[in-house]
Structure formats: structure tokens, C-alpha cells
A and B are shown apart, each in its own frame.
Chain A
């Protein structure tokens, strides 16, 4: 009897496509534990997330495809999931359940980076994702205010910090340790130490996205962060003026220097919509963010209008995405968070095979076998 071959089964399964990754499940190596016993075929389909919305569809399609092979008498499809991590994901214990660490940076201060971080966090959380925010802007932490956090994170018996949870978002901010009214004056090495503590001593638990609100500028702290946290990517916030654009370029250079892929550029305060007319007033210049994206070949993630409500939202502790979900800004933030999630998926798919984190000793260093 001509038995069913593994190749026959795999070829049949090639018709089943992952709708997000636009590749078939064989190519994506989702098919595991294929066993063929006579006419009985059993296999696992390992998805990248247990929350896959099309899980049942994929299962049905896979079942149907294999069942159609002549000679197959029974098909058993077992759906499993293994969350793919970005290539950079380190074994750093407390961050091990964090899928993507995203740095939100700007070349200089005052472009609304903290506001953008808070709103993006809410927008991502609204899609059902688990989100955390680390306010690493140690010189002027403002995330606590944006989320109206009053309490301090709990320190457990193992000297680990547990984030404060606000509306489902886990928040840790430097402001929780310092007096809000007083500026933080620290020297470089102390700052680096603090950042390390932030990154490695916070029990984040399961997170899909951890947003890091980076301090403005491109100095020591930023470098420490990029070296100690396994960043999946960076997002740069800018405003339309040329000076900001110039600073954004510096931020970009910093990320490039340490090989953190830049997911794209967000232009904040792009235009103003006044109360009486619906016209977009481009107060600064138009299209600065898009120009720099184009000139540097980076995705332009979107523009956020200037709306008085955004600032009110930030000051009152309810980000506008939550407070006024129908506003133009809220919509912009939702679109941008979608664009970021999409960029991350594309990136993790293109980085398969890259050695993420390693720590070899002479004895554990693999020996090259092929000549």
C-alpha cells in the first residue's frame, strides 16, 4: 500500500494561510509533531498567540486540506500556541514574559512624548493587549500625573517592585520615588544604576507591550537603556518644525548606533482644529514628520492634532484616548498604535533566526561542525 507521506500532508497544508503574516502555515513552521499511522494523520498547529482570532478557521482549514488527501481516513488537528518573541528578547528574568519593549523617544523635550506614550498605552490596551508603561524620564517624570497614580509600587519580600495598575495598564514611574515638586538632580552613574533597577527589578509579569518613556535627548541615560533593556524597537516623536525634525534625526542616529530598529515617526502637534470651523490649521509647518520619514526611509506612523483636550486629559490623569474617544486625537492615537503593532509583527517575522540574547562561556560556545 502506498502510504501517505509527510510531504503530501505538508503540501496540502500549504493552502492554509495566516491572514496576518500572509504566509502559509508550513512556511511559518507552525506545523509540529506530524504523525502518520496508516490513514490516520495527527499534527499540531502552533500559533504565535493563544488569542489568535482566526484559530478555529485555521483549524477547520487545516483539517479540510488534509482530509482531502486520497487515502486519509482520519485527521486530528491539535491547536497549540507559542508566543513568538522579538529577536532581541533577553532572558532577563523579569522581562521574560514581555513580548515587545518599545522605547518612545524624542530628540528634545517638549514635543509631547509623555502624552503620546500614555495615549498609545491606552490605545494598545483598548485592543485587548496587556500593556505596561515605564516612565524612564528620570529628570522630569510625568507619567504618574498622566495616569493619576497616587500610590507607590509595592516592594515585595524579594526586593522586587510591583507596578501600580491603572485601568489595566501597569505603570512604574520615577515620580513614584521622588517628590513631584522637586527636580531630580542626579549624576550619570546614579542614573544608570536607577535605570538598571527599573528595568531589572520590576515584576512586569505577562505583557504584550512595554512602552518606555525615554528621557529627552540622546545622552548617557538613553544609551544605558538601550544597552540594558532588550528593545524591540523605538518610536520617535517629533513636532513639525525643522528644529524638532533635526533633533528627531539625532534620536534616530542613537537608535541606529545601538541597532534598535526604528518603528517609525510620530508627528505631534501637527495641526489645530478650532472650535468653530473644521479646517485644519497647520500652526507650525506642515509635513515635517513625513519629510524626515521619507528622507530616512522610515515608516511615518501618523500625525496627532493639537487639541486643548489633549493637554487637559494629560493634566487630569485621563488620557484623551480614554476620556474623549471620538476626538481626532484619539482616533490618531488608535491608528498609530495599530501601525506600531503592525511594524512589530513584520519585524519579528523578518528576524527569525537571529541570535537574540546569549551568554557563552568557552565550554558552552557551540563548535562549528561543517568545514
Chain B
């Protein structure tokens, strides 16, 4: 059976980064601003065209998650301190957008 992406731990790395430990042993780090900017919800991304509707310049400098809640077993919802809380980040999506992974493909 293929391993389903799931976190074994979610942590506050520092004031502006989230760290996720995955069940495959890998670790991902996300800057809060980057995560907020990558919000996949229908308000931030046009559902039909996939066009990004969110203006990154409007993301507050001190953006932080206010709440992280699991959704089913495949995702987590992030409520941001700017009041935005419609984004459901699937674990597959989080792994896909992991900046380190995309930076260094030779793993």
C-alpha cells in the first residue's frame, strides 16, 4: 500500500516559519508569508482559471497562523491572524509547494 502523506508533527520553527515533519521522514519548512500567499482557497485562487486572485503585496508583514486545524485525514485548515480562514491545505499540496524540495531536486 502506498504511503499517504501525513504529518507526524507540526511545529513553530520561529516567529515566521512553520515546520512539518512527515511520515516519510522528510521535513518541510514554510515561511508564513509564503504559506499565506499559497492559500489554495477559492477566494485566493480563481476556481475556473486557476488564476491567483490574492495580491501578495497586501499580505501583512507580521502574518501568522492563529489556528491550525486538521481536516479529515488529508489536510489542515489554516486560520490566519488577518482573519482569513477559508484555506484548506492538503498534505499533498503542502508537500508539492515545499520550497526546499523545489529548490534542490537532487535529493
Asked whether, in the complex, the Cβ of B5 is within 8 Å of the Cβ of A362, the reply is no
Residues in chain B near residue A90, CB distance under 8 A = 70
Asked whether, in the complex, the Cβ of A231 is within 8 Å of the Cβ of B72, the reply is yes
Residues in chain A near residue B76, CB distance under 8 A = 358
Is A48 among interface residues, defined by CB-CB distance under 8 A? no
Given A361-B66, A362-B64, are A259 and B10 also a contact pair (CB < 8 Å)? no
Residues in chain A near residue B9, CB distance under 8 A = 355, 366
| Least CB distance, A232 to chain B, in whole angstroms | 9
Q: Which of B11-19, B41-49, B52-60, B97-105 contacts A (4 or more CB under 8 A)?
A: B11-19
Number of interface residues of B (CB under 8 A): 31
Chain A: which residue is nearest B3 at the CB level?
Answer: A350
Asked whether, in the complex, the Cβ of B68 is within 8 Å of the Cβ of A259, the reply is no
Residues in chain B near residue A177, CB distance under 8 A = none
Q: DSSP majority for the A interface?
A: loop
Asked whether, in the complex, the Cβ of B65 is within 8 Å of the Cβ of A362, the reply is yes
| Least CB distance, B76 to chain A, in whole angstroms | 8
Is A297 among interface residues, defined by CB-CB distance under 8 A? yes
Residues in chain A near residue B2, CB distance under 8 A = 297
Given A259-B5, A259-B6, are A356 and B19 also a contact pair (CB < 8 Å)? no
Chain A: which residue is nearest B8 at the CB level?
Answer: A353
Asked whether, in the complex, the Cβ of A368 is within 8 Å of the Cβ of B8, the reply is no
Is B106 among interface residues, defined by CB-CB distance under 8 A? no
Is A23 among interface residues, defined by CB-CB distance under 8 A? no
Asked whether, in the complex, the Cβ of A88 is within 8 Å of the Cβ of B10, the reply is no
Asked whether, in the complex, the Cβ of B10 is within 8 Å of the Cβ of A366, the reply is yes
Docked CA distance A355–B8 (Å): 5
Chain B: which residue is nearest A259 at the CB level?
Answer: B74
Asked whether, in the complex, the Cβ of A367 is within 8 Å of the Cβ of B8, the reply is no
Q: Which B residues from 60 to 107 make CB contacts under 8 A with A?
A: 64-76, 81, 90-92
Given A259-B5, A261-B4, A368-B19, are A356 and B11 also a contact pair (CB < 8 Å)? no
Given A355-B9, A358-B10, are A259 and B66 also a contact pair (CB < 8 Å)? no
Is A185 among interface residues, defined by CB-CB distance under 8 A? no
Docked CA distance A87–B1 (Å): 16
| Least CB distance, B45 to chain A, in whole angstroms | 17
| Least CB distance, A104 to chain B, in whole angstroms | 17
Residues in chain B near residue A278, CB distance under 8 A = none
Is A226 among interface residues, defined by CB-CB distance under 8 A? yes
Is A230 among interface residues, defined by CB-CB distance under 8 A? yes
Residue of A259, A261, A353 most packed against chain B (CB within 10 A): A259
Docked CA distance A226–B6 (Å): 16
Asked whether, in the complex, the Cβ of A358 is within 8 Å of the Cβ of B68, the reply is yes
| Least CB distance, B34 to chain A, in whole angstroms | 17
Asked whether, in the complex, the Cβ of B12 is within 8 Å of the Cβ of A368, the reply is yes
Asked whether, in the complex, the Cβ of B74 is within 8 Å of the Cβ of A357, the reply is no
Docked CA distance A361–B81 (Å): 11
Residues in chain A near residue B1, CB distance under 8 A = 261, 297-298, 347, 350
Asked whether, in the complex, the Cβ of A358 is within 8 Å of the Cβ of B69, the reply is yes
Asked whether, in the complex, the Cβ of B73 is within 8 Å of the Cβ of A88, the reply is yes
| Least CB distance, A99 to chain B, in whole angstroms | 15
* Residue from the list A88, A228, A359, A367 in contact with B67, Cβ < 8 A: A359
| Least CB distance, A84 to chain B, in whole angstroms | 16
Residues in chain A near residue B6, CB distance under 8 A = 87, 259, 351, 354-355
- Beyond the given A365-B65, A368-B13, could you list 8 further A-B residue pairs with CB under 8 A, ordered by the A residue number? A87-B6, A257-B74, A258-B73, A258-B75, A259-B4, A259-B72, A259-B92, A361-B66
* 25 A-B pairs in the complex with CB atoms less than 8 angstroms apart: A87-B73, A227-B72, A258-B72, A258-B73, A258-B74, A258-B75, A259-B6, A259-B92, A260-B74, A261-B1, A297-B2, A347-B1, A354-B23, A356-B70, A356-B73, A359-B67, A359-B68, A359-B70, A360-B10, A360-B68, A361-B66, A362-B64, A362-B66, A368-B12, A368-B13
Binding site for A on B (CB under 8 A): 1-2, 4-13, 19, 23, 64-76, 81, 90-92
